[in-house]
Structures are given as C-alpha cells and as structure tokens.
Structure 1
Amino acid sequence: MLLRHGMNPHQRPAGAEPLDPARPPLRVLSGEPSLVNLLDAVNAWALVREAAASCGAPAGASFKHVSPAGVALAGPVDDVAAETFGLDAASVGSLTSAYVRARDADPRASFGDMIAVSEPVDAELADLVRRLTSDGIIAPGYAPGTVATLAAKKDGRFVVLEADPAVVPPAQEVREVGGLRLVQPRDDAPLTADLLTRAAPALAPQAVTDLLLGLHAMRYTQSNSVGYLRGGMAIGIGAGQQSRIDCTRIAGAKADKWWLRRHPAVRSMTFVEGVSRTERTNWRLRVVEGDLDAQETALLSAVTRGVTLLTPRERASWLGRLDDVAFVSDGAIPFRDNVDEAVRHGVRHLAEPGGSTRSPDVVVACREHRVTRVADVPRLFHH
C-alpha cells in the first residue's frame, strides 16, 4: 500500500504491507491514508474490538495522534451531547451512541479525528460522520450505500478503512528505530471483569464496567496515561505526560469541562444565526474554562443572544456534584497527590498496577477519601 506520506508530508515515499498478504488486517475502501492515519486506525480498531468483546456492548473511539480523545460503550445520549451533534436524544441508535459519547468527551480534541467502531457502519452513523470534521473511519463492515456517503467527504480524501475481525495480530511485535530492531511479545494480558471483582467484590456493576473500559483505553493511550470514566464512557483522558500528576490534572480538567457543559446556564446559551455547531461548542468550552479577556467577552457578546457567565462559586458548587467517577492509571501511582487530585473530580473507584515504593501512602489516601482501590492490574504502558 502506497501511503500519502509518512509521519510528515516531507517523508515520502511511504508505504505499508501486510505481514500475511493473503489476509491483510484491513482494506482501504476510499481515500489515501497517511502513516499517522494508519497508526491511529490500527490502535483505535484494537481498542474498540477488545472493549466491545470485554464489556459486551458496541464501542466507539475518537483517536488523535495515536491516543483516544474519547472512548465509550453504547448507551444513553444526553441532551447536551445530542444538541452538540444535532441529534434526537430519544432516537439515537446504539452504534451511533457509542461514537457520539466517545467524541463528546473532548469535542475540541476530536476535531479531525480517526473514528473507530466495533460494528459495521449503518446509515445513521454515516450520516452523522458526513457532517463532522474527521480524517477517517475504520469499522468491520459497512451497510449498503454508507461507503459512498463517507467517500464523498473532503472531496474524496476522507479515509474509509474496513478491518477484518478474523485477523489476530501476531504474537510478536517488531519495530525498527534508529538502526535497532526492537522485538517484544504483543501485549495480550487478559483484561476482564474478574480482574476487578476478585480484588474488590463490593464494586457496583457500573463501576466494574467503567474501570474495565478504562483499562482497555489505557492499553492504547500513549504513556503516561490516566482516564476518568463515568456511565460507560470516558470523560477525561490524559496522555503522554512525563509526570503522572500532570497527566491526572490534565485529564481532570477535561472531566470538569465535560461536566460544566451540562450546567443549566451553559446549556441555555443561544447563538445568533449563522454560528456553526463547532463554533457553538468552542464558545461553550471557553465559557466553562472561564477567564475570558475583554476581546473574547466582546466576541462572545456578538455571537450570542445574552449569556450569564458562571461565578467561581457557581462553578465550584456545580463541580461538587460530579460523583461516582472511575479512575484508571496505566502505571503505578507514585504518590498520594494523584489520589488527592482525582477525588476533586468526583472519583470514587480507582484501578492501578500498584507496586510503587509509596503505594502504602496511596492506600492511606484512598482510605481517607473513601475511594475503592483495585491494585495489581497489569501495567499498560504504550509507546
């Protein structure tokens, strides 16, 4: 397969070839993928495939720069997400709901994403994707007519990939970097509900699902990584930070923004005619982020029909209502500050590999904050 370009446009020519020419893991149905498109696609497909099988529900992911901006299982689409994507919350199908819930975790970061879903694309999802800014999609199949709908995006440059669900990646992974050939076994450590319930039998079923989904997400998120999850969907993912506490804060800030977008004052914002859905979403995000300067305030006044900005007290009061959140870390939590930070964002359940020299401090912090801790899950570094 000749690729559009490598990691960057100046890296040409670039190509990809299946290890088994008789059974390639995917087919290009439309568009010309770049190397980054394929890296996003194969990681995103692995994530939704494993999450759906493990959690027993259709899964969707929004991938950017080889990490999920969001991942979710099929489930209820609330009014905020429905308005954001121009849908009727009462009639959204299960596969569409999985992707909508995934993209709604961080709609700004998902701009220009690679989409992955665990089931064949239907007409409803294709129609939604047709209206969104995305680079491509990977799925195990497509209903009649949907490929044509998707292939028309971006003047034919939208990448449509079909994954072969029967293909299992090889047991050994090989990568060549800087004159070295690196070899390791593929990360196929089992991630199952039993892994969680054996350690914490009192976990509620929803907490088990959220933690399990989080483990699958961390397996395909650039390390260091943490995730906040609630109701079968990620609400904040932090990736690629050298410091775990920085990652915890970044993901926590995303979870806060997800929750603040549901504040009645933010939901009631109305816009003048001609303001696109993407612009509306971005303005709502700026409002919940706060600290608008004079120029931004003037611009906001020009595009809305009146808006009441949240006071610090209103923000704090609303954020205090975020609860029952699950937190997953791809590596051992090294200090209790991660727990102290996580509970500021409603965390009540936590899964981490443990084994740090400061793990006893983490145990104490979880006890003080009444957070259920599940340790001894696999380390899930991904690079």
Structure 2
Amino acid sequence: MKNKFFGKRRKTQEDSGRDSPSLAVQTRSPGGYGLLPFQENYLPQSSGELRLYRALREGVPIIDAAIGKLLRLVGSFQVCCGNPAAGRALADFLRNVPVNYGGCGIQAFLTAYFAQLLTYGNAVGEMVLNSAGEIGALYNAALEDVEFKALSPLKMQVCRREQGQSIPVDYPELVVTTALNPEPGSLKGTSLLHGLPFVSAILLQIYQTIGLNWERAGNVRFAVTYRPSGDGDRALAKERAKQIAAEWSKAMAKGSISDFVTVGDVSIRAIGADNQVMDSDIPVRQLLEQIVAKLGLPPFLLGLSWSSTERMSSQQADILTSELEAYRRLLNPMLEQICSVWLRLKGWDTEFRVEWEDITMQDETESANARLLNARAAEIEARLKGR
C-alpha cells in the first residue's frame, strides 16, 4: 500500500549527498562491505545463539527473574506535545493501539521490545498501517524472521527472510530497531546474557549433581550380605540367597510394611550412609555473584539474603537507578520514531518530548528528609548572603 509520506520518489542530487556520508568514513577497511561484521546478508545472531539465550532464561530462574524485574523497573512514560489537541490524541493512541496478538497499548509493545533487547542484544518492531494510511497496530518481530544488511558503515537496511532469500522491507520508515551496546563497526548488539553461558553451565552442573545425590541418598538403598557358616550352608548358598532376596524385596515393597526374618549370619546396612556430600554453598554463591554482577541488579531484589548494610543497599539502589536511566535513553529513539510517524500521518507538525516517570528506589521518608535538609541549607545560605 502506498502512502503519501512513504511513497517512492525520484532521488535528487540533495538526496544523494544526504546518503553519501559513508564516503567520508576513513577508518573503514578498504575490502568492501563483505568483510567482518558488514556481511552482505548479516543476521544479528545465529539461530543457535538465540536458542542458547532463550535456554538460559528457562534453565536459570534467577536470570529470568532479573530480566522480568528490569522490565517492570524501567517504568512507564508520557509524551508531552506543544499542541494540546495533538497531545491528547497521541496519548489516546499510545494507550489503545493494538499490539501483537491481543495486546493493547504502547506499554505492551515496549515490554516485549525491551525483553528482546536484553535477551538477544537486538530488537525489531514494526508500525503496521491500516487501510486509512494510519498506524493501526504495533508488531514485535522475531529476530529469526529478519536480517540486517550494511549498505555502508553508517547506513543499515532491514530485510525479511522469505524462502531463503533476503527481501528489503518496502517501508523502512515503519521499522524500528535498537542494538544494545554494539561493538564498534558492528550491527550486532551485545546481549545482557553475554558471558553467562559458561558460568551458568557450571551452576546447572552443580544443581544436577545435587539432585542425583539426593536421589541416591534420599531413596535409601540397602546391602544385604549373607555369610555361609559351614559346608552345608555353602552348598545351599545360592538357594538361600535367592530366598533372602525375595523376602527382602517383599518387605521393602512400595506401599507395604512388613518384617524381614532370616536365619544365619546376615548383615544389612544402608549404601552410602557413610559418605559425605560435598558442601555446595560456597561455589554456588560464587557463581551467583558472577551472574548478579552481570545482570546489574542488587542481590536483595532477587531474593538473595547476602550480608548487606543499610548504606550499601542505598548505594546499590542509586547504581540501579543509573542503569535504568541508561536503558531509557536507549529506548527513547524508538519511542520518538513511533510518535513522530503517527503525528506526521495525522498531519500534525508539532514538537514533543518523551518524559519518563521518576524512578523511586529510595524510601519516601528518606527522600522527604533529604528535601527538607536541602531546603534548610538553601534558606541558611540565602540568609547569610543577605547580611
């Protein structure tokens, strides 16, 4: 469907100059765009890497919990427009726009977009136009369905994968993309889980070993030993061993309680009762410390009751606030692109800005006391200057 804002037009000399900043890049390898990260058909991550990060979230609950908390802690926003009528209409659109399969509101789109960005390092979304030429829905695209092509070191093209081919999208202005901390000269973002597969594999191996040990030690196994005392007993040892085994199995059968009676030199002991299971607290904590340090969340938010003073918790909350503000700055261009396209399609040419809600990680009482002390200090300073 052609749209008056996205229809094709002739390329003028001015447009050619606008698309030519790649010619000014002097630090680019002279081998062309087929080298290193700028492949002709470049997928942000391989399908195996995507499955690996997805498996990490499924296999290590603390990783999935951390991403879920970051999604909620990043908060919500509102858009302030210079035109009040445009602002009210835009707010209504952001509140009621359909998202994916049955979702509603820009917050649903933002949550899925941010989760994809944190998990895989890249996120792709699309503004879907309706028959009236307006944004009718927002869609979170799967990374397996898209490819990125580097047209130049400063220009990227989004393509869809169709029957093994890369087909450029018709209206790239309707597609939003974000990369998380990409390496210099690369289109590929860095997942928040980058560096965790090795540590997580060791942690899961410890958990699996603990499960096997409990399966062996929890379901007690017994060793029944029969020692023949004379030649007559040795001659009938095989038959008596079978009889003892049958009676022991009957006595230990599931759902039945019975006594085991035998004659002769028979000893019974629990297998593994003398073995001591290795202490896993210290290695598990060391591995969890590495994971928590990479995720950027304070341990107490993930249910880890490690020793922490009140002062330390306050500092950790301040660090988390700066992390969330960095994520917000990363998401702002995507939100501004959606709002800008919607306003242009509606015929409004007005300035706007995205304002996020304040991040309140501190206690309200402490915040009020801090404001009170600052006000008193300002009053005293004004009084001294007036003398």
User: Shorter-chain TM-score: what band?
Assistant: under 0.3
Please give the TM-score of this superposition, normalised by the length of structure 1.
Answer: 0.26
> Higher relative CO (CA 8 A, sep ≥ 6), structure 1 or 2?
2
Largest Rg, 1 or 2:
2
Structure 1 or 2: more helix by fraction: 2
